[in-house]
Every structure is written in structure tokens, then in C-alpha cells.
Amino acid sequence: MRIRTAVPLALAATTALTGSLLLATPASAAKHQGGVHLGLIQYDSPGKDTRSTASLRAEWVEIHNNTKAKVQLKGYKLKDNTGYTYTFPAYSVGAGRTVKVHTGKARNSSGHLYWNRGSYVWNNTGDKARLIKPNGKLLDSCSWTKSSKGTKNCH
């Protein structure tokens, strides 16, 4: 009888301890504690999807540098579920700064990079953006469904 009582008590204590440890460090909070990460994503450009230059430029992903130093993004990759891949050119994002990667065509400028595509990348009904380091390690990811209403905050 003692064994039966001790096992449930030990199990309950272990479960309580494990549960409190999980609550103390939620995965979503740890994900963006520092470093470079995905920010806001405009996966459904406003208005009709006409494939116009303006519409394609209005589809974008923010990359945020949450460190205290600038970060060189050369060789980083941005990918979707289909496998469309944007490889960052030599571009430094300042400490605490954000750069938008637009799907459409234009000249790169401070705070804005362009994929220069003639078609959309991010699926309106659901997709997943992945930010990958030059060594192939997944740095961050963010997914959405149709219910996100065109914009996803990945923080």
C-alpha cells in the first residue's frame, strides 16, 4: 500500500516541478530575447492581388535586430513553405533597427530590400516564413493562417 501511495505522490511532485519550470521559461518569450528575428509580416498586400509593382512591393517581411550592435545579413536566407528563397546581399541592419524585405521590384535602400519578384511569395491562406543563418541554422520562423487578416506580428 505504501508503494502505491508513494508513486502517485512522486509523480505529482515531478509533474508540479516540471510544470512550474515550463511556465518560468515560455518558448515564445525565449525565441526573441535577443538577436535577429522576424517582426511584422504583410503577407497579403492591401487591395486586390493584381501582380502590379505596387501590389508586390506591399507584400513584405520585417527583419529586426534586437542586439546592441549592427549585424551583417549577407548570406542569411528568407524562405517560405514552397521553397522560394531570398538570399540577403551585403546589408547591415543597425542595433535596434528593422529592415523590410519587399517581394516586388525596386532599388534597395536604407531600411528596404527588394526580392525583385514578379509574383507573390507569401500565401494568403497560410504559410511559414523562415529566417536562416548563412551556416544553414534556422534562426526564427513565423507561420499564419487565413484568420490572421493579411498581417502577422511574429513577436
- Let me know whether 55 and 16 are in one domain: no
Range of the domain at 27: 1-31
CA distances from residue 70 to 4, 36, 99, 145 in whole angstroms, order as listed: 59, 10, 12, 32
DSSP per position, 55-86:
HHHT-EEEEEE-SSS-EE-TT-EEE-TT--EE
Provide the domain count of the chain: 2
Mean pLDDT of 16-30: 38
Nearest-5° Cα angle at 133, 132 to 135: 120
Looking at every residue in the chain, the average pLDDT score rounds to 83
For 36-68, how does the pLDDT look when each residue is reduced to its tens digit (9 = 90+)? 999 999 999 999 999 999 999 999 999 999 999
Q: What is the dihedral of CA 119, 124, 125, 131, to 10 degrees?
A: 80
The pTM assigned to this predicted structure is 0.78
Answer for the pair 95, 65: CB distance below 8 angstroms, yes or no: yes
Regarding whether 68 and 106 lie in a shared domain, the answer is yes
User: Is residue 18 predicted with pLDDT exceeding 50?
Assistant: no
Same domain? For 85 and 42 the reply is yes
Which has the higher per-residue pLDDT, 17 or 78? 78
Domain co-membership, 74 together with 110: yes
Most confident segment among 17-31, 109-123, 138-152: 109-123
Predicted local confidence at residue 13, as pLDDT: 43
Residues 76, 7: one domain?
Answer: no
Q: Is 80 exceeded by the pLDDT of residue 24?
A: no
Give Cβ neighbours of residue 89 (< 8 Å, ≥ 6 apart): 74, 108, 113
Co-location of 65 and 21 in the same domain: no
Rg (CA), the chain: 21
Residue 103, pLDDT > 80, answer yes
**What is the structure's pLDDT at 99?**
98
Q: Between 98 and 25, name the one with better pLDDT.
A: 98
Q: Is the pLDDT of residue 69 over 50?
A: yes
> Which one, of 129, 71, 63, lies nearest residue 99 by Cα?
63
CA dihedral 50, 117, 64, 47 (to 10 degrees): 0
Sorting pLDDT into bands at 50, 70 and 90, what band is 147? confident
Compute the distance between CA of residue 70 and CA of residue 155 in angstroms, rounded to an integer: 20
User: How many whole angstroms from its chain centre is CA 11?
Assistant: 37
